[in-house]
Amino acid sequence: MRKRKFFDDRILLRSPLAAKLYGQVETLPIVDYHSHLSEKEIAEDKTFSTITEFWLGRDHYKWRAMRSCGVDESLITGDAADFDKFLAYAKIMPKLAGNPLYYWAHMELKSIFGIELPLNEENAPKIYLHANEILKTLSVRTLLEKFRVEYIATTDDPTSTLEFHGTYGATRVCPTFRPDRALRPDAAYLTALSNAWGRPIRTLADYRKALEDRLGFFISHGCTIADTSIETVPLSGVEEEEAEMLFSRIGSLTEEESIRFYSYAVEYLAGLYRRNGIVWQLHIGAFRNINSRMYRALGCDAGYDVMSGSIDTNALARFFDGLSRTDRLPKTILYALNADAVPALCTIAPCFPDMRIGAAWWFNDTTQGIAGHLKTMQEYGCFGTSLGMLTDSRSFSSYCRFDFFRRILASSVADLVNAGEYDEAAAVGLMTDICYSNPKKFMNL
């Protein structure tokens, strides 16, 4: 068999039919309904001086990989020179065979910079210089235009001012209501929420009204989506009287009491989402900041989160039932960081109206992780209602992940057609729905 060219146009396309199907969705606009991108950088049309700033500045995926290969922290989050950091990343790239970072790096080099060389120690200097020259002609908005990004949902705390959201060129940038800090507030956070609300928060009723008004403020800025990260499945049925007592003791709650107040707050917000037509994204099963020493040094989102060993899907089902009984269950998207829970989530979703399974999340957005996620949805759920891909990223180069996903999706569908197990005439419509129409419709965009 003749050797394929390095990262040629057929990458991840397992058959001629896969290439044909991919060609039908390759240029569809991007609906990125969950990201951690900076709306300020979009508004200001940020430029980047080096590929190090562009690639390595906030990407904890890359940081984790570098730590896994023994790279000193000074070359990751420290004050080393930009080229030295880039060279350190280039040196580890040959070790990442099969890792999504290997795919993403070379897809980004090719599509953004026109570079088709493998990234390694030898090629690093010429790649660094060439990429930096190309960056002089690029900005955040030119990248969004290049990738045909139609919609971006950023991730925003209820205290956010939202002054940078809006429409830039062909891209609409809207906030997502992410109240994680508000669900387990301390005194400092309540002060910040009071300042954003414009009134002091002294009682549970004040707290509830502040969240309601802040959600209304988000909606006035185009918000149609909320998001919650769930490490502990909320309890159902915490009464208001108990919640008032717990609120009066914020700052001195036991862990059990904190979970009960958190559960009350989650249920209250779910009802707000239901009444306001907000789509609720639940990200379930991240075990965060497991290295306490590095958390103290670097803070959150620095690459020290892992997947939980298990997810209690029975408790989750009971929680949804409690919300449904009281008419507080909004349209919901479920993500599981531990892929073992996805079959159970696929069986839970049809039990409640307007509940969907989200993309293969975080550690699962690999070649096999995405392919396995698609297969699980085919076998346990309704594949045709899938909501496609998202960046879940702080990097504007991450839009290559949509191409990565579309190629894997095309191969998955083509495999069924080639085996005589699916109608080829329906394939393009199925893929168009998954890549574009379904998320746009479900998110009320």
pLDDT tens digit string along 291-318?
999 999 999 999 999 999 999 999 999 9
CA–CA distance, 91 with 65 (Å, rounded to integer)? 11
Please name which of 362, 410, 404, 350 lies closest in space to residue 34, comparing C-alpha atoms. Answer: 362
* pLDDT range class, residue 389, cuts 50, 70, 90: very high
pLDDT tens digit string along 128-147? Answer: 999 999 999 999 999 999 99
Domains and CATH numbers, the chain: 16-47+139-235+263-442 (3.20.20.140), 48-138 (1.10.2020.10)
Average of per-residue pLDDT across 336-358: 97
Average of per-residue pLDDT across 332-347: 98
Average of per-residue pLDDT across 410-431: 98
Amino acid 1: pLDDT: 55
Q: Residue 26: pLDDT above 90?
A: yes
CA–CA distance, 89 with 20 (Å, rounded to integer)? 35
Average of per-residue pLDDT across 194-222: 98
Count the neighbouring beta carbons within 10 Å of the beta carbon of residue 161. Answer: 10
Please name which of 432, 417, 403, 416 lies closest in space to residue 7, comparing C-alpha atoms. Answer: 403
Average of per-residue pLDDT across 400-412: 98
Amino acid 175: pLDDT: 98
CA distances from 172 to 41, 222, 273 (A): 14, 9, 22
Q: Residue 3: pLDDT above 80?
A: no
CA–CA distance, 88 with 121 (Å, rounded to integer)? 8
Average of per-residue pLDDT across 261-277: 98
DSSP string, 323-345: HHHTT---SEEEEESSGGGHHHH
The pTM for the full model equals 0.96
Average of per-residue pLDDT across 219-240: 95
CA–CA distance, 287 with 82 (Å, rounded to integer)? 31
Please name which of 152, 87, 42 lies closest in space to residue 399, comparing C-alpha atoms. Answer: 152
Please name which of 274, 373, 383 lies closest in space to residue 332, comparing C-alpha atoms. Answer: 274
CA–CA distance, 109 with 264 (Å, rounded to integer)? 47
Element (H, E) at 32: strand 30-32
Amino acid 247: pLDDT: 98
